[in-house]
Amino acid sequence: MLPLLLLAGFRTLIDDLHAELARQGHPELRPAHGFVLQAVGVDGTTASELGQRLGVSKQAAGKTVDRLVALGYLERADDPADARRKLVRMTARGLDGLRRSAVVFDQLRDRWAATLGAERVAAIEDDLRRMVPTDVFRLDVPGWFAG
């Protein structure tokens, strides 16, 4: 049951997050999008670098950017210093979604702490940190799901 429970815990949190985000004006935001917005970051990036951060090909990253651009969460701009590069950065809407995600995650963690106790939640986090390889999902990406 351990693996299923970990997955179910993650999905519960993510489902709750997206239900709340939909309520707050972001119904099109899908679970994967949060990872992408986080990886783009407030400073922006390029499709190639985004691919590296997410651990996928530059082509896959490019397609994902296309979709987020179509949804109004990202925009592309030319790099004045390098005509090959297209800078990818968040729009105001993207930034809004990202900020709300962080807030909602904080609230959800508080809800877990209210039920289980803050120590138990902290213990789960400590235990998991000990069991997962440090580079899984590049948890060192600045600001990864700040919540």
Provide the binding-site residues for its own copies, judged by CB under 8 A.
1-14, 17, 105, 108-109, 112, 115-116, 120-121, 123-125, 127-133, 136-137, 139, 144-145, 147
Compute the least distance from the CB of residue 59 to DNA, in Å. Answer: 4
Positive/negative CA dihedral, 6, 7, 8, 9: positive
- Per-residue binding letters, 47-86, with DNA (x by CB under 7 A): xxx-x--xxxxxxx-xxx--x--------x-----xxxxx
Give the H/E segment covering residue 40. helix 31-40
Which CB sits closer to its own copies, 43 or 140? 140
Direct distance between the N- and C-terminal alpha carbons of the chain, in angstroms, rounded to an integer:
26
d(C-alpha 6, C-alpha 23), whole Å: 26
What are phi and psi for residue 130, nearest 5 degrees? -75, -30
Residue 101 interacts with DNA (CB under 7 A)? no
* Residue 85 touches which of its own copies, DNA, none (Cβ within 5-8 Å per kind): DNA
Torsion, Cα 43 18 108 61, to 10 degrees, reads -30
Residues in contact with DNA by CB under 7 A are 30, 32-33, 46-49, 51, 54-60, 62-64, 67, 76, 82-88
